[in-house]
Amino acid sequence: MVAGARIQLAAATGKGRASVTYNAGPNATLDARVEALEKNMASIRNEIAAVEAERDDGFQKVKEEIRSEVQAQEADDKKLGEKVEASATGGIHISAIGASWLFVGVALSTAAPELATLVNKGLAESRRFGLLRTAS
């Protein structure tokens, strides 16, 4: 029985892969050929298992890189959202104070005629009782 070897090297990754093939020879018996085929099948199964393990390791590394990148992006998004909120509103307490002043302003702007009437009546009463003197 003659064994042959094939070696592949990947220059970019620095990894290599070797495979072994078994040959029964030109004048081999049927049993020797079957034995060579069985050894070749075992060798192929081992190569497939090694390739699958390498692929699974690569997938796991990529999944971990993606998971860490997603976590980093989520943390950055949260920080950015907090910065935008703080710069846009100055905080929630500033917004609450602004809303209360808006309410007071709307109430006073709609009550302007009533307030003018009230102030005019108060001035008239003050003049009547001599509390206010008019300039002549």
Domain identity same for 75 and 99? no
For residues 12 and 54, state if they share a domain. yes
Please give the residue range of the domain that contains residue 113: 92-128
Other residues' Cβ atoms within 10 Å of the Cβ of residue 17: 13
Share of the chain above pLDDT 70, in %: 82
Nearest Cα neighbor of 24 from 7, 12, 36 is: 36
Do residues 85 and 101 share a domain? no
* Global confidence as pTM: 0.47
Report yes or no on 136 lying in a domain: no
**Same domain, residue pair 8 and 28:** yes
Kindly state whether residues 64 and 29 are assigned to the same domain: yes
| Residue whose tokens read 């959202």 | 81
One domain for residues 119 and 62: no
pLDDT at 61: 96
Count of residues for the chain?
A: 136
* pLDDT value at residue 39: 94
Q: What is the pLDDT of residues 42-85, one digit of tens each?
A: 999 999 999 999 999 999 999 999 999 999 999 999 999 888 87
3-state secondary structure 19-62: EEEEECCCCCCHHHHHHHHHHHHHHHHHHHHHHHHHHHHHHHHH
The count of structural domains within the chain is 2
Residues 104 and 52 in one domain: no
